[in-house]
Amino acid sequence: ETGVTQSPTHLIKTRGQQVTLRCSSQSGHNTVSWYQQALGQGPQFIFQYYREEENGRGNFPPRFSGLQFPNYSSELNVNALELDDSALYLCASSLTGTTDTQYFGPGTRLTVL
């Protein structure tokens, strides 16, 4: 069974740029959730995708957007990067969007200069 994978591992961008982060869900899982973890804090929910549709969103601005593909992999896109977007971005997959445990990938460390 393949776990959740994320790419890239690290990324450095400058203010105003755009970034795309990628996540492959665990085999058999159809739901992907994204979280932002700033340094020294707990992860914050960004949004969730279930069968290619957005299925809930946290308190993040519209410049944070996402996609889920037919194979249930997912992308997180962030436009107009700000310094405060520097964080570890975590992807988690689960079997359904409601009750099942979420399994996390290793994360992508984004640094915005």
Is residue 28 a contact point for other proteins (CB under 8 A)?
no
28's CB contacts (< 8 A; 6+ apart) are 1, 95
Cβ atoms 13, 81 nearer than 8 A: yes
Adjacency order of strands within the sheet including 5-7 = 5-7, 19-24, 74-78, 64-68
For other proteins, the closer of residues 13 and 109 by Cβ is 109
Cβ atoms 45, 38 nearer than 8 A: no
Judged by CB under 8 A, the chain residues 35 through 94 that form the site for other proteins are 35, 41-45, 48, 50, 55-56, 58, 90, 92, 94
For other proteins, the closer of residues 13 and 57 by Cβ is 57
Is residue 2 a contact point for other proteins (CB under 8 A)?
no
For other proteins, the closer of residues 81 and 94 by Cβ is 94
Cβ atoms 20, 37 nearer than 8 A: no
Is residue 110 a contact point for other proteins (CB under 8 A)?
no
3 state SS of 65: strand
Which residues contribute to the site for other proteins (CB under 8 A)? 4, 33, 35, 41-45, 48, 50, 55-56, 58, 90, 92, 94, 97-107
